[in-house]
Amino acid sequence: SLKPKRWSVAVIGSGVIGVSYYVYHKNRAKCDLDVDEVVDIGDTLSLQSLNQSIESENFNLRRIWLYLRSDSMYLLIAITSALIVAILNIEIPLSIGSVMDVLSRFANEENSSFWSNRFFVEMKGPAHRVFQLFVLQSLFTFAYISSLAVVGEKAASRIRSDLFASIIRLDTSFFDIQKSSEIISRLTNDVQEFKSSFKLFVPSMVFCGSFLGSYLRQMSKESQAQSAKASGVAGEAISNVRTVKAFAMEESQSIVYDRELMAAEELNIKLGLGIGVLQGLTNLGLNCIVLGTLVYGGKLLSSDEISAGNLMSFLVATQTIQKSLSQLSLMFGHFIRGTSAITRVFEYIDIKPTVVLNTGVILNKVVGEIEFRNVGFSYPTRSGHKVLKDFNLKLIPAKVTAICGHSGEGKSTIASLLERFYDIDYGSITLDGCDIKTLDPNWLRRHVIGFINQEPILFGTTVMENIRFGKPEATDEEVMSAARLANAHNFITDFPDGYQTIVGERGVTVSGGQKQRIAIARALIKNPNVLILDEATSALDTESEALVQEALEKVMKNRTVLVIAHRLSTIQNADMIAVISKGRLAEIGTHSQLIKEKGLYWNLIRQQFDASDD
């Protein structure tokens, strides 16, 4: 029998002697392979400035557990199966040893009749046992892999669902900072990364969860952020390909992309090297064990202290352990990337919006009186630049109020503030006397305010669904009557598929005027009390403008309307015209009053008149 103590002494001793040669041959190939594995890190993304405030370094096991908890049955099956497989992996070589003993006995006999009856009789028992173990091992491997896959997929869906739900509710300013393609890659790539590391998660957690250097994880996070930045550049260029082409910027966009890509490559390679070193060292230790077994076992064999079968068992067993441990070291890489990816995902989930949907007051009846009182505002991304300073304006119910002023004076900002896309810095905005900060933003946007801007966005679905976007529960009849009001019904029914016509990703298949009228129908179907028209007709040619204007006149009746217009001819009939300058209300009155005053409005009119004269 073998004494464990002597074995371990021998293992360490002989390991040290045989190290260099053995490692040189075996590890070179292995390290190459591992580095390959590491370099193909999926493109993921960055979050930079926004959530520096969030402590992010430590991946939170309890947090991950929340996503696994409801499938703990599968997880239990997975862990149990994994343990059984591990035990079998040690059991199998031992049984193979007894097969080897039979073999070597017959091989050593002089009249070795290998295929004699006696051979089969003696072989039957051990072989049968080995076969049984093989079958068991494959069954439990199946149970292990498949139940982990179930847990992984379910957890990934839950994480994605949570992530999307929190992203889509975030403040508008978040989307001012983050490139949309980067946000999307966090939703896809980072969760994917976590999922693929998840298969290795259980063993990694069990064996080396605490072992990981935070240095490597930090490095991995950096490289993921950089990869994401690169895909952000690509995503932006591709989704705006027309603009890129119109400026013949293909080449320079490629250069920008290449630069980000190179930076990502450098980081990834650095990470790869780090993981490679870690794996190389692990392999070194493991290979020493195998070598030690060989050397010392060989000695014992030659002095007839153990049988060939015994040595065989130990060799296979050590090699099995070596193999699985070196796989484990390979898992380090996956594991590091998986945990840093999930950290990035949690970072997004953890950002809390300041405008919280579905909370706040809902008014029973809306009159539509809106007042801006001493409003001060600057965009969170440009806090030094005060867009509004002590801005005052009252919108009278059922009347049309127009705002004009030079471009960049903050006209659209006023509309955004009314929609509560941003919260003001000081002052107040009230609807029927209630501060809009106390109102439910969802209710405000869904039922009170209709917003039409210069460049309406249609979704890549049917005209019917696009209009219904304004009121999901609307019937087909309601959709059509909204379209009629918006002067859109006729041209829609002229489409080959009528209301079922798919409009392109950006409504490419419909003209600007048609698109605008579909957008008007969409805003109208909510029957809003307040209508905001932000340069609704400025992008249109004269003919479409007339059609859209006619539609707008109809829908403006009996609503509080805020018209923002660049072309002053369209607002002359407004009940009240306000001029904004330097962040303040500079003038207010009717067209004729303001003309008499010969102030800013008068100057604006003259400028436009001169321009159209040329």
* Site residues, ligand ADP (CB under 6 A): 176, 379, 381-382, 387, 407-413
Nearer Cβ to Mg ion (163/564): 564
Candidates 515, 507, 530; CA nearest to 450 is 530
Task: Give yes or no for a contact between 409 and 565, defined as CB atoms under 8 angstroms apart.
Answer: no
Nearer Cβ to ligand ADP (98/412): 412
- Taking the C-alpha atoms of residue 555 and residue 487, their distance in angstroms, rounded to an integer, is 10
Tokens coding 279? 């794996």
Site string for Mg ion, 412-451 (x = CB under 5 A): x---------------------------------------
- Per DSSP, 421 falls in state S
The residue count for binding Mg ion (CB under 5 A) is 1
408 is in the binding site of which of Mg ion, ligand ADP, none (Cβ under 5 to 8 A by kind)? ligand ADP
Nearer Cβ to ligand ADP (252/381): 381
- Taking the C-alpha atoms of residue 97 and residue 130, their distance in angstroms, rounded to an integer, is 10
What is the nearest approach in angstroms of Mg ion to the Cβ of residue 401? 16
Nearer Cβ to ligand ADP (1/407): 407
- Taking the C-alpha atoms of residue 102 and residue 123, their distance in angstroms, rounded to an integer, is 7
What is the nearest approach in angstroms of ligand ADP to the Cβ of residue 381? 5
What is the nearest approach in angstroms of ligand ADP to the Cβ of residue 405? 6
Task: Give yes or no for a contact between 472 and 459, defined as CB atoms under 8 angstroms apart.
Answer: no
Nearer Cβ to ligand ADP (317/387): 387
511 is in the binding site of which of Mg ion, ligand ADP, none (Cβ under 5 to 8 A by kind)? none
- Taking the C-alpha atoms of residue 276 and residue 280, their distance in angstroms, rounded to an integer, is 6
What is the nearest approach in angstroms of ligand ADP to the Cβ of residue 382? 5
232 is in the binding site of which of ligand ADP, Mg ion, none (Cβ under 5 to 8 A by kind)? none
What is the nearest approach in angstroms of Mg ion to the Cβ of residue 403? 10
382 is in the binding site of which of ligand ADP, Mg ion, none (Cβ under 5 to 8 A by kind)? ligand ADP
Please name the amino acid found at residue 12.
Answer: I
In a 3-state reduction of DSSP, which class is residue 375?
A: strand
Candidates 237, 226, 235, 236; CA nearest to 260 is 226
Nearer Cβ to ligand ADP (354/500): 354
What is the nearest approach in angstroms of ligand ADP to the Cβ of residue 411? 3
Residue 73 φ/ψ, nearest 5 degrees: -60, -50
Nearer Cβ to ligand ADP (274/405): 405
- Per DSSP, 534 falls in state E
What is the nearest approach in angstroms of Mg ion to the Cβ of residue 408? 8
What is the nearest approach in angstroms of ligand ADP to the Cβ of residue 407? 4
Beta-bridge partner residues of 439: 361
Nearer Cβ to ligand ADP (322/412): 412
What is the nearest approach in angstroms of ligand ADP to the Cβ of residue 408? 4
What is the nearest approach in angstroms of Mg ion to the Cβ of residue 409? 9
567 is in the binding site of which of ligand ADP, Mg ion, none (Cβ under 5 to 8 A by kind)? none
Q: Does the footprint of Mg ion cover residue 453 (CB under 5 A)?
A: no
Nearer Cβ to ligand ADP (335/451): 451
Task: Give yes or no for a contact between 209 and 67, defined as CB atoms under 8 angstroms apart.
Answer: no
What is the nearest approach in angstroms of ligand ADP to the Cβ of residue 418? 12
413 is in the binding site of which of Mg ion, ligand ADP, none (Cβ under 5 to 8 A by kind)? ligand ADP
What is the nearest approach in angstroms of ligand ADP to the Cβ of residue 386? 10
- Per DSSP, 42 falls in state P
For the CA atoms of 437, 443, 449, 451, the dihedral, rounded to the nearest 10 degrees, stands at 100
443 is in the binding site of which of ligand ADP, Mg ion, none (Cβ under 5 to 8 A by kind)? none
In order, the DSSP letters of 430-471 are: EETTEEGGGB-HHHIIIIIEEEE-SS----SSBHHHHHHTT-
Site string for Mg ion, 390-419 (x = CB under 5 A): ----------------------x-------
379 is in the binding site of which of Mg ion, ligand ADP, none (Cβ under 5 to 8 A by kind)? ligand ADP
What is the nearest approach in angstroms of ligand ADP to the Cβ of residue 417? 9
- Taking the C-alpha atoms of residue 276 and residue 447, their distance in angstroms, rounded to an integer, is 58
- Taking the C-alpha atoms of residue 301 and residue 2, their distance in angstroms, rounded to an integer, is 12
Tokens coding 139? 């069954």
What is the nearest approach in angstroms of ligand ADP to the Cβ of residue 421? 9
Task: Give yes or no for a contact between 391 and 381, defined as CB atoms under 8 angstroms apart.
Answer: no
Spatial strand order in the sheet of 426-431: 388-395, 370-377, 426-431, 434-435
Alpha helix positions (H), 525-590? 542-556
Task: Give yes or no for a contact between 132 and 140, defined as CB atoms under 8 angstroms apart.
Answer: no
410 is in the binding site of which of ligand ADP, Mg ion, none (Cβ under 5 to 8 A by kind)? ligand ADP
Task: Give yes or no for a contact between 458 and 518, defined as CB atoms under 8 angstroms apart.
Answer: yes
Nearer Cβ to ligand ADP (73/168): 168
Nearer Cβ to Mg ion (347/545): 545
Nearer Cβ to ligand ADP (407/542): 407
Candidates 396, 323, 338, 469; CA nearest to 44 is 338
Nearer Cβ to ligand ADP (334/566): 566
Site string for Mg ion, 64-103 (x = CB under 5 A): ----------------------------------------
Nearer Cβ to Mg ion (173/412): 412
Task: Give yes or no for a contact between 37 and 269, defined as CB atoms under 8 angstroms apart.
Answer: no
- Taking the C-alpha atoms of residue 333 and residue 38, their distance in angstroms, rounded to an integer, is 7
Candidates 202, 201, 83; CA nearest to 137 is 83
Tokens coding 349? 């989930």
184 is in the binding site of which of Mg ion, ligand ADP, none (Cβ under 5 to 8 A by kind)? none
- Taking the C-alpha atoms of residue 577 and residue 585, their distance in angstroms, rounded to an integer, is 11
Interior CA angle at 399 toward 477 and 470, to 5°? 30
User: Which residue, judged by CB position, is nearest to Mg ion in the bound state?
Assistant: 412
176 is in the binding site of which of ligand ADP, Mg ion, none (Cβ under 5 to 8 A by kind)? ligand ADP
Candidates 574, 528, 160, 218; CA nearest to 395 is 574
Using CB under 5 A as the criterion, which residues of the chain lie in contact with Mg ion when the complex forms? 412
